[in-house]
Amino acid sequence: MAWIPEQRTRHSFDVGDDDGMTAYWISIYQEISDQAKVEAYAELAGPALRRAGGTYVARGLPEETYELGQMTRTVVIEFESVDAARAAHDSAEYQEALAVLDGGAVRDMRIVPGVA
Q: Is residue 8, in this structure, part of any structural domain at all? A: no
The confidence score (pLDDT) of residue 116 equals: 76
Q: Is residue 3, in this structure, part of any structural domain at all? A: no
Q: Is residue 17, in this structure, part of any structural domain at all? A: no
Q: CATH number of the domain at 102, please.
A: 3.30.70.100
Q: Is residue 109, in this structure, part of any structural domain at all? A: yes
Residue 73 above 60 pLDDT? Answer: yes
Q: Is residue 29, in this structure, part of any structural domain at all? A: yes
Query: Would you tell me how many other CB atoms lie within 10 Å of the CB of residue 49?
Result: 23
Question: Structural domain tally of the chain?
Answer: 1
**Domain extent at residue 76:** 23-113
Minimum mean pLDDT range among 6-10, 31-35, 74-78, 79-83:
6-10
Residue 3 above 50 pLDDT? Answer: no
Q: Is residue 99, in this structure, part of any structural domain at all? A: yes
CA distances in angstroms from 77 to 14, 18, 26, 82, 85, listed in the order given = 23, 16, 7, 12, 9
Q: Is residue 9, in this structure, part of any structural domain at all? A: no
What band does 8 get if pLDDT is binned at 50, 70 and 90? Answer: very low
**What's the predicted TM-score (pTM) here?**
0.81
